[in-house]
């Protein structure tokens, strides 16, 4: 049996890694209407095994495990500590945001009504950032500007 030397092994791993970036992903994002871009994108790969395991356990929804408010606070304080300018300032609910998740047999993108007029641009950005083969927009008041989830009452009780 032939064995690859270290250089050939590294080259093979690098070549394989470029194919690994196209897996569908779930996650969260904020939308910057000034330049039609996403920022603060956090995501993780969703594999068929994860979907099958969730189905076997009767779990119909696979979600990214972090909240917008958690990521916003972390990025805000990181920028403060490094004395950097940041988009993560003010109230995170005042910036258009969304979540990509898996629901039973499809990817869904949870957004507020802010997304309706720019659906085409969002579709391109979502496909680009999350590598989704297909998805459905799901509108909910929670994702409208000024709305959000505040768990402070639960945490302080």
pLDDT one-digit tens code per residue, 6-28? 877 777 777 666 665 678 999 99
Please tell me the predicted confidence (pLDDT) of residue 18.
Answer: 63
> How far are the Cα atoms of 3, 10, 13, 16, 34 from residue 7, in angstroms, in the given order?
12, 5, 10, 14, 45
156 or 105, higher pLDDT: 105
Kindly compute the dihedral angle of the four CA atoms of residues 62, 69, 78, 156, in this order, to the nearest 10 degrees.
Answer: -110
| Of 157, 155, 119, residue with least CA distance to 137 | 119
8 or 90, higher pLDDT: 90
Alpha-helical segments (H) within 44-95: 48-56, 68-82
pTM of the model: 0.81
| Of 11, 22, 12, residue with least CA distance to 45 | 22
């Amino acid at each position: 049996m032939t064995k690859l030397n270290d250089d050939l092994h590294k080259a093979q791993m690098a070549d394989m890694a470029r194919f690994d970036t196209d897996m569908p992903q779930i996650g969260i994002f904020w939308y910057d209407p000034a330049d039609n871009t996403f920022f603060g994108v956090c995501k993780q790969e969703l594999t068929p095994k994860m979907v099958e395991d969730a189905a076997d356990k009767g779990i119909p929804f696979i979600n990214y495990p972090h909240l917008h408010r958690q990521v916003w606070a972390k990025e805000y304080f990181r920028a403060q500590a490094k004395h950097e300018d940041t988009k993560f300032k003010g109230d995170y609910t005042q910036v258009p945001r969304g979540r990509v998740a898996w629901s039973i047999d499809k990817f869904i993108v949870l957004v507020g009504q802010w997304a309706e007029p720019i659906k085409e641009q969002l579709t391109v950005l979502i496909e680009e950032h999350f590598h989704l083969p297909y998805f459905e927009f799901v509108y909910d008041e929670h994702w409208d500007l000024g709305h959000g989830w505040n768990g402070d009452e639960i945490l302080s009780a």
